[in-house]
Amino acid sequence: MTDALKPLVLVVDDDDAMRGSVAFLLASVGLDSRGFATAEAFLAQLPDDGRPGCVILDVRMPGMSGLELQRLLAERKFVLPLVIVTGHGDVPMAVSALKAGAHDFIEKPFNDQVLLDAVTAAIRASREKLADAANRDVVEKRLASLTRREREVLDRVLAGKPNKQIAFDLDLSIKTVEVHRHAVMEKMAARSVAELAQLMVGLG
């Protein structure tokens, strides 16, 4: 596995011993990690290398708190899942963090396996999100390769119009519509209208 595909776990916690302990635990199962003592340090070195992974984020830290960092990351559309950890949590805090998009919420002191299970699930979610983004990128490039006329035909095919109606709408012969329709299917790598529609739905 290349470094570009190997997951990276980012640990944001002001407790040096905790960061070291978590890094040791993650290394024991072959996971790379990087530690940050403050939310500000994390933001200053915000990784954006496309690797899958997650962030283990402590709530109570000097300066910016973990929950404040969570809000800021959401505003910046940060993609890695967050596993929130805290020694001072309560149910309302957990609910708030999860509603704001945290992948998991764990109270300190935590069992090693509980943290590893949460990290594993978060990394799996991260991989799925990256795969979805990559697929979306491929479809967007295929869509961009269509000519204006092919895009007009595509829109009408997706609207369920038959070739005869498309030909009338665009003032084309049915044969010409068939040629454009074939080109659309080829460029979009779709074997059926249903598959074509599914690709477009995936774009959101």
Provide the edge-to-edge strand list for the sheet that holds 32-36: 32-36, 8-12, 53-58, 82-86, 104-107
pLDDT of residue 4: 60
What is the C-alpha separation between 191 and 186, in angstroms, rounded?
A: 8
- Residue located via tokens 């059926």: 192
Q: How far is CA 11 from CA 37, 75, 157, 163, in A?
A: 8, 20, 49, 57
pLDDT at res. 3: 57
Q: How much is the pLDDT for 47?
A: 73
Helix, strand or coil for residue 37? coil
| Per-block mean pLDDT, blocks of 10 residues, the chain (204 long) | 78 95 96 95 84 93 92 91 86 82 89 95 94 91 95 94 95 95 95 91 77
Helical ranges in the chain per DSSP H: 16-28, 39-44, 66-75, 91-99, 112-144, 148-158, 163-170, 174-188, 193-202
Beta bridge partners of 55: 10, 82
Distant-in-sequence, close-in-space partners of 199: CB < 8 Å, separation ≥ 6: 139, 142, 188, 190
Residue 34's H or E segment, with its range, is strand 32-36
Q: CB–CB of 157/181 below 8 Å?
A: yes
pLDDT at 2: 56
Q: What is the pLDDT of residue 25?
A: 96
- pLDDT in the model for residue 98: 86
State the burial class of residue 56 (Cβ atoms within 10 Å of its Cβ: 0-12, 13-18, 19+): buried
Domain annotation for the chain: domains and CATH numbers? 8-128 (3.40.50.2300), 146-203 (1.10.10.10)
